[in-house]
Amino acid sequence: MQTIKVAIAGFGSVGRATANLLLSRRGRYSQVYGADVRLVAVCGSRSGLRDENGLEADRLDNLEDALTGPDFIAASGADILIEAGPSDFRTGGPGLAYISSSLSTGRDTIVISKGALVHSGRQLRELARLSGAMLKLSGAAAAALPTIDLVHHSLKGCEVLEVEGILNATTNYLLDAMTTRGIGFDVALREAQQGGFAEADPRNDTEGWDTACKLLILANFGLGANLTMDDLNVQGIQSVTTELIEAWRREGHVPKLVGSLTHLNDTFRAEVGIRTYPLSDPFANIRGKDKAIRITTDAMGETIAIGAGKEPLATAAAALKDLEHILTARASSPLAE
């Protein structure tokens, strides 16, 4: 049986959910892939834990001070890094150092935070290419909603002509609440904050940046584009009024915050903004915190996926789907023991 050592950098709600789900699935990894998957290191910003024999769930509440950073992860001997730190697309965030260090030393890397992928995507892809490390990012590209996997697997070989995505749960919740219950933006936002799924500072969601990050990651890592945030026109939902919603409703239209992309003659154009849909369109019926993507290809026409999952479990599961892709690739590699 092959031993596969996994480390997790960023140990908040998603990092912890990922650790617990991974530990609960060890039997599956051993049965399906013949792999003894061990969690050998975890760390937050100030503390961590390491054991090359594998950490169990009951030890994960007792992190030790000063055990953190890319060198700490490297010293754990991990074969695979799962990065789940905070996201900052303007600087790359702390994830950038972890991911760069991991890829440059050939460690397969699963990224959940979006910041480094948006800020330095091209450099990270190049590091992976040079070292031969696998770079996976389902957790960063709308998580429970399959996006990258759709183009890499289900639509393989087709040319993607157009993408439309409702990619942010919070803004869909807000617009849906305003449309179906007639409440104002501020009331809907307070409700979402009290429900724990809108941040105290919601601008990353409401101004469209989170949608833009996911769209950019899908474009660059899924479709081979080379877009930066400067290439995107990004508009949010912060100025949607009840009057506007009422006017759309009278026309039989439902507003959604949509990331859209067109691909023509090797040119990609992407933007984020409000689009309205007639009730007959599946996008008009994406409710609450659900997300959706519509991909139009040259040969398979239109494909729609709709997804929702309870967080942070759904994001952890998306990252561990990537882990299984890596285990599959490793099991079929000629170097597999």
Residues forming contacts to ligand NAP in the complex (CB under 6 A) are 9-15, 43-46, 68, 84-87, 94, 112-113, 139, 143, 311-312, 315
| Least distance from ligand NAP to the Cβ atom of residue 103, Å | 17
Cβ proximity to ligand NAP: between 43 and 240 the closer is: 43
Cβ proximity to ligand NAP: between 44 and 146 the closer is: 44
| Least distance from ligand NAP to the Cβ atom of residue 155, Å | 23
Helix (H) or strand (E) holding 267: strand 267-278
Cβ proximity to ligand NAP: between 110 and 286 the closer is: 110
C-alpha angle 276/282/286, rounded to 5°?
80
Cβ proximity to ligand NAP: between 84 and 160 the closer is: 84
Q: Is the CB of residue 256 less than 8 Å from the CB of residue 249?
A: no
| Least distance from ligand NAP to the Cβ atom of residue 243, Å | 32
| Least distance from ligand NAP to the Cβ atom of residue 313, Å | 9
| Least distance from ligand NAP to the Cβ atom of residue 248, Å | 29
Helix (H) or strand (E) holding 252: none
Q: Is the CB of residue 203 less than 8 Å from the CB of residue 247?
A: no
Cβ proximity to ligand NAP: between 113 and 297 the closer is: 113
Cβ proximity to ligand NAP: between 13 and 239 the closer is: 13
| Least distance from ligand NAP to the Cβ atom of residue 25, Å | 19
The two tokens of residue 160 are 């993607």
Characterize 90-110 residue by residue with b for buried, 16 or more Cβ atoms within 10 angstroms of its Cβ, and e for exposed. Answer: eebbbbbbbbbbbbeeebbbb
User: Nearest residue by C-beta to ligand NAP?
Assistant: 12
- Per DSSP, helices labelled H in the chain are 13-24, 26-33, 70-75, 95-104, 115-131, 148-149, 169-181, 185-194, 203-206, 209-217, 242-250, 313-331
